[in-house]
Amino acid sequence: AMVVRDGQEIIIPSRELVPGDLIVLQAGDTIPADATVLDSVCLSVDESILTGESDSDSKDLRTPKLFTGTAIAAGHAEACVTAIGAKTEFGHIAELTGSIGSKQTHLQKHLSKLASQLGFTALIIAGGISVLGIALGRDLTEMLMTGLSLAVAIVPEGLPAVVTITLALGAAAMVRQNALARRLQAIETLGAASVICTDKTGTLTENKMTATRIWTPDQLFQVTGTGYDPAGHIEADDGKRVRARDDAHLAQILKIAATCTHARLVRGQKDWAMTGSPTEGALLALAFKGWQSRATDGDIISEIPFDSDRKRMSVLSRASEGNEILMKGAPEAILSVSTNIRTADGNQPLGESNHNSIREAYEEMAADGLRVIAFAARKTPEQNITESGMTFLGLVGLIDPPRPEVRDAIKSARSASIRVLMITGDSPVTARAIAAQVGLDADTVVTGKSLDEQDDAGLRELLKSDVILARTRPADKMRVVSTLQAQNQIVAMTGDGVNDAPALKQADIGIAMGIRGTDVAREAADLVLLDDNFATIVGAIGEGRRQFSNIRKFVRYLLSSNAGEIVALVVNIAIGGPLIFLATQILWMNLVTDGVTAVALGLEKGEPDQMEMPPRRKDEPILGVGGVALICLLGLYSGSASYWIFNSLLDSGVDLARTTAFTAMVTFEKISVFAFRSLHLPCWRIGWLSNPLLLVAFVVTMGAQVLAIYWTPLQHLLHTVAIGQNQWLLIAGFALPLLIVPELVKTIQYVASQRAR
């Protein structure tokens, strides 16, 4: 930081600044502390790091506050340091962000609860069966080993690995869709989101100012194209394309747009890059669309730059017939120095009727959310600029256009019963206009100042309606997120600036912008959008829903497989006779065959109707009553069938009966996986071959089981013997219903639901 101490300008580390220091600021400097402007020349400050809005703000003695971390865009100034460190605006936001502790995702909470339930159940059942066996006269060592094996059977040991692999692969898939998960569980949480609180600038819009409309007293022109790419064109009312050479009046406006500017457009490898003010960049692109060449440096004689008092910029330019003053700025500022207006009939006095026409055109553009710039010019024999006696030429309307894919993305979010709430620092008029263009219906637009007047009960009622929040501050965003969470909503919050960090951390899932987002925002977020695009959020929601659905599927699948083993063992011990499964066989089923299939099940693609379903409830468990019922039903069938096979073959020898029952249980578990590919759609609806890895896993695990009963080393390890064709046919007969019945039930349910629609 450059400071003035003892009358000397010296450079010191910014950490050594103290309140009262006099600092010197130049264009390009980052402001090192909160300060008050004492003297300035054409000072403009980029405060987007705090406000999230892209336009630079003019600073002078009337608006003297400067904030840490913001940047000098133009001009220079002297300022007095008023606050440093934690007492700065930046520090207050950091303190607000730090006040929010670490959070657990909903998946973490549900898995933790499930783990506790399974652990308790495993101890009770394993201990109970061991005691039962010992009471019925079984060998103590045998029952202790069986009890331990049952504990292994009840707990799905592969669950942590399967969850981690599924989330990691899902995160990798999302990176390919321009969403970077900073925490693996983040995308799953986003899948449960019921409200998306989204910023406007750069998320719903392109963050590139674009001229869309030109008004003159005799003509209204429409402008095509977006951003700073000059590939668009200008159209007259009749749809005819026009250029500068076709209309002298239009040519004069385009000349001012190309001359009265400091912006530069440079063509990159993929896109056009702009340096300078976004408004000037948009006007320069407009001039290029009309085939207007920009002035050379030698054509500009002098300039009066834009400032917040005059709200206009003027240049003195050489013309073919003497010099010319070219001016652009706010309509009211241009009108205040204009005495004439140019029409098709030539220059006319700027009377009341013309004033009214200009005002009507200006208000109509503003109502559509356009930023309006006025243009004026006059010839002069002088060598300096006198801002008076100007001839008013017309108006240009500019807007940061909505991203073309956002409307469909919002429609998709609505079909999934996800509410989209716009929270922006921009003006209410612009916020309402953009909302209308992207399909966000809003009953009212509420400013941050109005939010201050609302108590908590009033804010809760307000947020139940379709509302847009404009001119908001960091505390406003955080309060809105907290209120929505208190209503049992799962809230996703987008942001890019330092001011967004507290709300990003408070939300159930914070989403930062990767391109224009600050490091502070990205550090506070759970998910980073690499393309700053709202449509990417909706895509990530679909991925999150897929992940949770797949986790629910393989948890139910693993537990139903384990339930079958438990049923078979309980019946076997209660009735008596040799053990149906040995400890090593139980471990084989749980640690070898089930895990591979469950991982493949976790890679199921998203179901066709997943974005037509409402978000799951905040307290909705992974299993639920329906899941427990399904687990018990399948477990009862597979366990009973295995025990029947075992009991019916005992006369042929214990080893053959046990090996056949063991193989039957493995086969039942592998066949039943197809019933879990979707919990409500039949396989023919989602595609039998849509998950080839599951088919590979099925073949591999069944192949491993064949080795277990025919390969000598595994026969010794697992105590198995070879089985014949009759035993395989018996297994197939009992396995077939596990494939047919679930498909039949889900097909009937699907057809009924389609008819109901």
pTM: 0.71
State the pLDDT at residue 325.
Answer: 95
CA dihedral for 102, 108, 113, 119, sign (positive or negative): negative
State the pLDDT at residue 226.
Answer: 82
Report the C-alpha gap between 595 and 80 in whole angstroms: 66
Q: CA of 573: how far to CAs of 129, 146, 219, 378, in Å?
A: 8, 10, 93, 104
Report the C-alpha gap between 232 and 647 in whole angstroms: 81
Report the C-alpha gap between 488 and 76 in whole angstroms: 50
CB within 8 Å of 465: residues ≥ 6 apart = 443, 444
Q: What is the DSSP string of 169-225?
A: HHHHHHHHTTEEESSTTHHHHHHT-SEEEE-STTTTB-S--EEEEEEETTEEEEE--
Spans in the chain with pLDDT lower than 70: 48-49, 51-58, 60-61, 98-103, 153, 158, 297, 308
- Which residues is 71 bridged to in the sheet? 30, 46
DSSP type of residue 402: B
State the pLDDT at residue 24.
Answer: 93
Token pair for 593: 């065959």
The set of catalytic residues is 199
State the pLDDT at residue 691.
Answer: 92
Report the C-alpha gap between 723 and 653 in whole angstroms: 11
State the pLDDT at residue 143.
Answer: 81
State the pLDDT at residue 578.
Answer: 87
3-state helix, strand, coil in the chain (%, to 5): 50, 20, 30
Q: CA of 140: how far to CAs of 463, 582, 694, in Å?
A: 64, 15, 41
CB 709 within 8 A of CB 720: yes
Residue entry with tokens 């002069």: 380
Q: CA of 608: how far to CAs of 212, 312, 690, in Å?
A: 39, 55, 12
